[in-house]
Amino acid sequence: MSLIVSIPEDLHEWVSFEDPEEERTYMFDVSYMLSNWMCIYGQGCQGIHEEATPELMQGCCSFGAHFIDADDVKTVKKSSKRLTAKNWQFKEKADEKGWHKTDKSGTVTTKTVDGACIFLNRPGFEGGVGCALHIGATEAGERPMDWKPDVCWQVPMRSQDTTDEDGHVVTFIREWKRRDWGEGGHEFHWWCNDDRLAFVGDKPVYKYLKDEITEMVGEKVYALLAVELEKRTTTAVGHPVVLTQRPKK
């Protein structure tokens, strides 16, 4: 009797190494890092509603942002004060009633206006469509990630820590999955890491998102990752979306 083994549909290749300065192991999703995913906001992104809504140009901003800690909130409090009515469509509304809220569990989120984040400028706004914080940072010649909530510059990557009984930390740097949004993520009509439409960049993710990855893991760890990935022109296990979906004409 022969054993028939099926290959998992969502097969990824990983690389791991130790942090040179602390008790931590890093695990990187190589299949994603070497893929040509790119953000296609405003270039065909279908949004995260239950049906395709590219015309709304909301991207993944429909439900507002969840803050991870007090420092995260502090960052946006500081940057939002630098925005003006010229680059923030809902500044007046935010000045009147505030731009964030806290639920019963203590979780702080940005408020929503007409079905999307209060910081999201809508199509037709003279100051530019998209995240007001991103626009403000760009106009100031600064990095948008230094103005935004952490989740907003990290997605669609995810940093996830696990700690064993001896206190050793393993940090996974991987693509953001539908499950990371909670139960609602499986109801999205579309998610960018699931669709070849977003795998159209001209450089691999580890270069395209260099600043974001470096912010997550530090310069030394990023350098180690880059050295390892520079050895490869391809991954032994390509990204499953690219391997299984035909290019859309």
Beta strands in 43-133 (DSSP E): 100-102, 108-110, 112-113, 116-117, 120-121, 130-131
Which pLDDT score, from 0 to 100, does residue 6 have? 62
- Same domain, yes or no: 189 and 145: no
Report the C-alpha gap between 28 and 223 in whole angstroms: 13
Per the CB < 8 A criterion, the answer to whether 248 and 43 are in contact is no
Which pLDDT score, from 0 to 100, does residue 9 have? 79
- The β-bridge relationship of strands 24-29 and 169-175 is parallel
Mean pLDDT (whole number) for 203-225: 97
- Same domain, yes or no: 240 and 167: yes
Residue 10 lies in a domain: no
In a 10 Å sphere around its CB, with 0-12 CB exposed, 13-18 middle and 19+ buried, how is residue 150 labelled?
buried
Which pLDDT score, from 0 to 100, does residue 18 have? 95
Which two structure tokens, joined as six digits, stand for 22?
A: 């602390």
Number of domains in the chain: 2
User: Does residue 152 surpass a pLDDT of 70?
Assistant: yes
Phi, psi of 234, deg, nearest 5: -140, 170
- Summarised one tens digit per residue, pLDDT across range 27-70 is 999 999 999 999 999 999 999 999 999 999 999 999 999 999 99
Which pLDDT score, from 0 to 100, does residue 232 have? 81
Mean pLDDT (whole number) for 241-249: 77
Give the domain range for residue 114: 53-154
- Summarised one tens digit per residue, pLDDT across range 94-136 is 999 999 999 999 999 999 999 999 999 999 999 999 999 999 9
Report the C-alpha gap between 174 and 243 in whole angstroms: 18
- Same domain, yes or no: 144 and 64: yes
Regarding predicted confidence, which is higher, 5 or 215? Answer: 215
User: Does residue 5 surpass a pLDDT of 60?
Assistant: no
Residue 119 lies in a domain: yes
Which two structure tokens, joined as six digits, stand for 153?
A: 């510059």
Residue 9 lies in a domain: no
Confidence class for position 244, pLDDT limits 50, 70, 90: confident
Average pLDDT along the chain: 93
* Residue finishing a domain among 99, 125, 154: 154
- Same domain, yes or no: 60 and 143: yes
User: Does residue 249 surpass a pLDDT of 60?
Assistant: no
Confidence class for position 146, pLDDT limits 50, 70, 90: very high
Which pLDDT score, from 0 to 100, does residue 26 have? 98
- Same domain, yes or no: 140 and 211: no
Report the C-alpha gap between 176 and 158 in whole angstroms: 5
Confidence class for position 3, pLDDT limits 50, 70, 90: low
Residue 7 lies in a domain: no
Closest CA to 232 of 25, 37, 31: 31
Per the CB < 8 A criterion, the answer to whether 170 and 27 are in contact is yes
- Same domain, yes or no: 181 and 136: no
HSE at residue 207, side-chain half, CA atoms within 13 A, is 11
Confidence class for position 72, pLDDT limits 50, 70, 90: very high
HSE at residue 234, side-chain half, CA atoms within 13 A, is 6
- Same domain, yes or no: 60 and 139: yes
- Same domain, yes or no: 246 and 180: yes
Which amino acid is it at 225?
L
Task: Determine how many CB atoms are found less than 10 A away from the CB of residue 199.
Answer: 19
- Same domain, yes or no: 122 and 172: no
Percent of the chain at pLDDT exceeding 70: 94
* Residue finishing a domain among 131, 154, 177: 154
Report the C-alpha gap between 35 and 206 in whole angstroms: 9
User: Does residue 91 surpass a pLDDT of 70?
Assistant: yes
- Same domain, yes or no: 132 and 94: yes
- Same domain, yes or no: 30 and 62: no
